[in-house]
Structure formats: C-alpha cells, structure tokens
C-alpha cells in the first residue's frame, strides 16, 4: 500500500508495558488492541485507498488524558496519528505503519456557548452535524458545512482547515476560530482557548494548528465564532450550456444577491449523471445541460429574499445565461436539490476507486483542467465510461465561489498506469497557472510529494523548521505533510 516509504526505526515499538501504562491512565474501554479487536475502521481511510497497520487505538476522554498519552509517547518515541471522524480525503487520518491512533471520538462535549456573542467552546471530538444541531436549537449556525458532516469532527475540521459549502459566506476557519487548546508532542498543554474576536498581542500561534493535519499536536478543544442562523434559506438550481456562462452567472449573483448569497456551487453534466446512476430522486431539470449551478441565499426577510432570487433568475433567463432553472418550494426540495451537489463524492466512490484532485485555479481557467484531463486520458488509449475501460468517469464540480475545483477520475480499481498518466501532470498544469495543489482537503500522505508545485522552497524550509520546533522527535503523524 505504501511502496515508497519505510518505517522510521527511530520510533519505538509498542510493548506490553506501554499498553499496561495506557490502561492504567485511561478509563476502561479506551485502550483497543489488535489482539482483542478489529481495528480496520481506524486503519483504513474513507476512500479505502490507504491501509495502515496500527496495533493500538487510544480513546481519551479529557485533555489531561491526551496529555498523559503524549507524555508516554514522547518518552518512548512512539509515533501517533490523531484521528477525528476519519473522513479525510488525502490519507492523513490513518497510520502508515504501526503508529498509535489517538481517536478523539469520546471527547465530544460542548463546553460553553454564549448566546450573546455566539462564541462556542467545544471538545475537538464533537461531530460537526450534532454541533450544528446544538447551535440551531439556539438560533445559531456553525460557520462550516460539508458533505461529511454526519461523521467528521470539529477538531478534524480545524486540523484540515476544511472549506466546504459556505466558505463564500462565512469565510475560512482561519477567521472564525478564535482559540485552540492542544496537547503538544511532549504532553504539555497549549492553552490558547481565547474567546476574543480581537487580540493583537503578538504572533497568532493558534493559526499554525489550523490546517496542521495532526503534525504539530493533538487539538483537544476549539472556540469558534458562530453567526446567527438565517431564518430564510432559498435554493435555486439551473442548467447552463457553457463554463463561460457559469462565470457570468456568478458575477451577477455577487452583484444582485450580494449580502444574502451563501453558496454558489457548480457541477458538470458528467457529475450529475454519476449521481443519477445511484439516486432514486427525479432529476431537478427535465433536459440535460452541460453545466449546473446551485445557488443558495440565506437571509431574514422571506419576501425580500425571494424577490431578489426571482429577479436574479429572470435576469439570467432574459440575458440567455441560463437555459432552465428551478426554485425550491419547501425544505424538502431544498434538501433534494442539495443532494445533487453533496451526493457527488459518494456516487463517485461507488465505482471502485477515485483519483481526487482538489485544486485552486484562477476562475477563467478552472474548468479547462477537466477538459484537458479527459483528452490526456484518451490520448493514452483509455476510453472513458465504456464497458471495458477502467476509467468510469471524469467529472468536475466544486466551490466556484471560492475558485476551488474538484476534478475526480473515477475508476473501477486503482491502477498505477492511470495514476502515472495523471500525476504529476495535473500538478504541473496547476503550477503553470500559479494555483494550489490542495485547496481544502490538505496534504496528508497523498499530496506530500506535490507540495513543491504550489510552495516556494524557502517556504517549505520554514515549514520544516516550524515542524522541528513543535515536534523535535517527529512523532506526530509521520510520513505525511512535509
């Protein structure tokens, strides 16, 4: 599974004494060993592409317990992988060899919520969807939403600096996360769980943990600024014939929907056919189109918001930007329309395997990558979507409002030949456009070799130095990231 890496023999191997120690400091049921349990759920990632061989999973219930774990790991040079909901898409959340998995799933309590400021302080292991539900009951919203919300943890979201479906509206976690509590590799507790929106007292060290993917420490708690939940949410779904028109619709959305615009997602026809293959739902539009856009507005005045969205859609029709469109009439329809966007990753996964590219590219060239990829695959003699071919589909979709394309190549089975056709070609393509090889999923194991296509050598060197300062023994999520 990991042909080009060898176990770093500087790391200790788990002994019976280590297990005895962990059992003595953790609550019953918190120490899972391969000898007694099936640990495959912790060793295999959500794409079933990466398989680790961890023999030990620890499930701490408090920051103090994480600290005791890390003190032992530091003293014994035992490598660890912090794990949230294990929904990551770059092979970062599972071990490569025998690293200990520190699962955060039992640290799942809301610590406090201030209904005046909207500031939530919660354990890292809170599941995103239940945290958002907690906030919904109080009239607030978690400022991040993504398809894996039912499983991913808010700590995992911060560790990956997840972007998701409404970054356009609520901004990046670098802006909304106000504080972080983490356990450092030597077991000391980094307590920066501030609740201040403004704090200009020196280097903002907590920012380094946002997007650090378990390489600097174990995030145990976060404090985050949550906006009021919008009373009125509207969704429109429309078909367009060219990528040029998708961009025109976006410019108009920014101008005309402005403060109520909360998502602008685009999907190509291949991605919609993929969802349709596995969905019982009726397709939102009768005719097929080359592209589709889902626009969401969130506001507080129904009449005002609906009028704005209606006028926007009529304007698009009149200027021939869209060919057809539909407006959700109730909450069920809102949910169903979102399925045609959120359901894409799952439907692709049903093919067998998926080569996933999550990239930032200047908007005008964003879709060109998908077209060039199809041409390249065919030039190398592979059909797309025919019965005998391993390549099932090549699709493009993503967060257009953020300049973030998801290019996915679905295959019946992972195949090195296909991988060599795609990599590093995709990354070279991105480098030429000064884009990013990872817009939101992170580096993990998958993107580590390709960091150089997006970051200058000097910057990479600084990243290495930071890693050494925080984690001198290199025990935090090794073989990945940098």
Q: Which of residues 369-428 bind ligand MLT (CB under 6 A)?
A: 406
Binding footprint of ligand FAD on the chain (CB under 6 A): 46, 81-89, 92-93, 104, 124, 146-148, 152-153, 155-157, 159-160, 162-165, 213-214, 218-219, 345-346, 440-441, 444, 477
Closest C-alpha to 395, from 316, 277, 298, 284: 277
Cβ at position 65, least distance to ligand MLT in Å: 32
Which one of residues 56, 68, 79, 89 is an interface residue with ligand MLT (CB under 6 A)? Answer: 89
253's contact among ligand MLT, ligand FAD, none, with CB below 5 to 8 A by partner kind, is: none
If the CB atoms of residues 142 and 312 are measured against ligand MLT, the closer one turns out to be: 142
Cα Rg, the chain, nearest whole Å: 23
Cβ at position 265, least distance to ligand MLT in Å: 8
In sequence order, what are the residues at sequence separation of 6 or more whose Cβ sits closer than 8 angstroms to the Cβ of residue 303?
none
Report whether 69 contacts 102 (CB < 8 A): yes
Closest C-alpha to 291, from 248, 243, 259: 243
If the CB atoms of residues 345 and 435 are measured against ligand MLT, the closer one turns out to be: 345
H/E stretch holding 158: helix 154-160
With helix as H, strand as E and coil as C, how does 408-434 read? EEEECCCCHHHHHHHCCHHHHHHHHCC
Residue whose structure tokens are 């650090």:
212
**Residue 147 makes contact with ligand MLT by CB under 6 A:** yes
If the CB atoms of residues 153 and 356 are measured against ligand MLT, the closer one turns out to be: 356
Q: What is the dihedral of CA 449, 452, 457, 461, to 10 degrees?
A: -40
406's contact among ligand FAD, ligand MLT, none, with CB below 5 to 8 A by partner kind, is: ligand MLT
In sequence order, what are the residues at sequence separation of 6 or more whose Cβ sits closer than 8 angstroms to the Cβ of residue 91?
45, 47, 49, 50, 444, 445, 446, 480
Cβ at position 444, least distance to ligand MLT in Å: 13
- What CA–CA distance (Å, rounded) separates 156 from 82? 9
If the CB atoms of residues 356 and 382 are measured against ligand MLT, the closer one turns out to be: 356
Three-class DSSP category at 34: coil
Cβ at position 330, least distance to ligand FAD in Å: 25
If the CB atoms of residues 93 and 316 are measured against ligand FAD, the closer one turns out to be: 93
Cβ at position 376, least distance to ligand FAD in Å: 26
**Residue 214 makes contact with ligand MLT by CB under 6 A:** no
Cβ at position 314, least distance to ligand FAD in Å: 30
Cβ at position 327, least distance to ligand MLT in Å: 23
If the CB atoms of residues 149 and 480 are measured against ligand MLT, the closer one turns out to be: 149
Q: What's the distance, Cα to Cα, between the start and end of the chain in Å?
A: 19
- What CA–CA distance (Å, rounded) separates 61 from 41? 19
443's contact among ligand FAD, ligand MLT, none, with CB below 5 to 8 A by partner kind, is: none
If the CB atoms of residues 207 and 339 are measured against ligand MLT, the closer one turns out to be: 339
260's contact among ligand MLT, ligand FAD, none, with CB below 5 to 8 A by partner kind, is: none
Nearest 5°: phi and psi at 235?
A: -130, 135
Which one of residues 221, 345, 396, 442 is an interface residue with ligand MLT (CB under 6 A)? Answer: 345
Report whether 268 contacts 370 (CB < 8 A): yes
If the CB atoms of residues 67 and 404 are measured against ligand MLT, the closer one turns out to be: 404
If the CB atoms of residues 211 and 325 are measured against ligand FAD, the closer one turns out to be: 211
In sequence order, what are the residues at sequence separation of 6 or more whose Cβ sits closer than 8 angstroms to the Cβ of residue 42?
32, 52, 54, 57, 83, 86, 94, 101, 103
Cβ at position 129, least distance to ligand MLT in Å: 15
Cβ at position 156, least distance to ligand FAD in Å: 2
Cβ at position 341, least distance to ligand MLT in Å: 7
- What CA–CA distance (Å, rounded) separates 275 from 347? 5
Strands 391-399 and 353-360: unpaired
| Total of residues contacting ligand MLT (CB under 6 A) | 6
E strand map for 270-403 = 291-299, 324-327, 353-360, 391-399
Position with the least CB separation from ligand MLT: 345
Binding site for ligand MLT (CB under 6 A): 89, 147, 344-345, 356, 406
């Amino acid at each position: 599974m990991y042909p080009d890496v060898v176990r770093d023999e500087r790391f200790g191997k788990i002994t019976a004494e280590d297990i005895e120690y962990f059992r003595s400091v953790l609550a019953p049921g918190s120490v899972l060993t391969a000898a007694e349990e099936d640990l495959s759920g912790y060793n295999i990632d959500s794409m079933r592409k990466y398989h680790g061989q961890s023999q030990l999973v620890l499930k701490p219930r408090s920051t103090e317990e994480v600290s005791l774990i890390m003190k032992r790991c530091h003293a014994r040079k035992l490598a660890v992988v912090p794990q949230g909901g294990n929904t990551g898409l770059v092979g970062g959340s599972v071990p490569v060899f025998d690293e200990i998995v520190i699962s955060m799933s039992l640290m799942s309590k809301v610590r406090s919520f201030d209904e005046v400021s909207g500031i939530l302080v919660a354990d890292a292991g809170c599941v995103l969807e239940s945290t958002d539900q907690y906030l919904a009951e109080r009239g607030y919203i978690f400022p991040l939403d993504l398809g894996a919300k039912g499983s991913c943890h808010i700590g995992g979201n911060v560790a990956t600096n997840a972007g998701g479906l409404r970054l356009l509206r609520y901004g990046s976690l670098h802006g909304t996360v106000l504080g972080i509590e983490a356990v450092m590799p030597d077991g000391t507790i980094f307590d920066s769980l501030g609740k201040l929106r403004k704090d200009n007292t020196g280097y903002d060290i907590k920012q380094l943990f946002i997007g650090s993917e378990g390489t600097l420490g174990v995030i145990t708690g976060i404090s985050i600024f949550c906006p009021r939940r919008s009373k009125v949410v509207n969704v429109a779904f429309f078909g367009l014939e060219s990528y040029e028109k998708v961009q025109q619709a976006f410019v108009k959305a920014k101008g005309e929907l402005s403060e109520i615009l909360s998502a602008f997602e685009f999907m190509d026809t291949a991605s919609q056919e993929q969802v349709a293959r596995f969905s019982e739902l009726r397709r939102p539009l009768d005719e097929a189109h080359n592209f589709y856009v889902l626009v969401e507005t969130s506001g507080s005045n129904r009449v005002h918001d609906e009028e704005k969205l209606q006028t926007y859609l009529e304007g698009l029709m009149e200027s021939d930007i869209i060919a057809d469109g539909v407006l959700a009439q109730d909450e069920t329809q809102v949910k169903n329309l979102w399925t045609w966007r959120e359901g894409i990753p799952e439907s692709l996964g049903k093919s067998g395997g998926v080569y996933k590219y999550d990239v930032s590219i200047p908007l005008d060239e964003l879709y060109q990558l998908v077209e060039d990829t199809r041409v390249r695959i065919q030039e190398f003699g592979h059909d797309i979507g025919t019965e005998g071919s391993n390549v099932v589909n090549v699709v493009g979709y993503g967060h257009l409002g953020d300049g973030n394309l998801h290019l996915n190549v679905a295959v019946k089975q992972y195949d090195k030949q296909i991988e060599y056709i795609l990599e590093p070609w995709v990354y070279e393509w991105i480098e030429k456009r000064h884009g990013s090889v990872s817009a939101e999923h992170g580096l993990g194991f998958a993107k580590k070799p390709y960091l150089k296509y997006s970051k200058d050598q000097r910057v990479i060197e600084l990243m290495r130095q930071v890693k050494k300062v925080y984690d001198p023994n290199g025990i935090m999520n090794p073989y990945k990231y940098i």
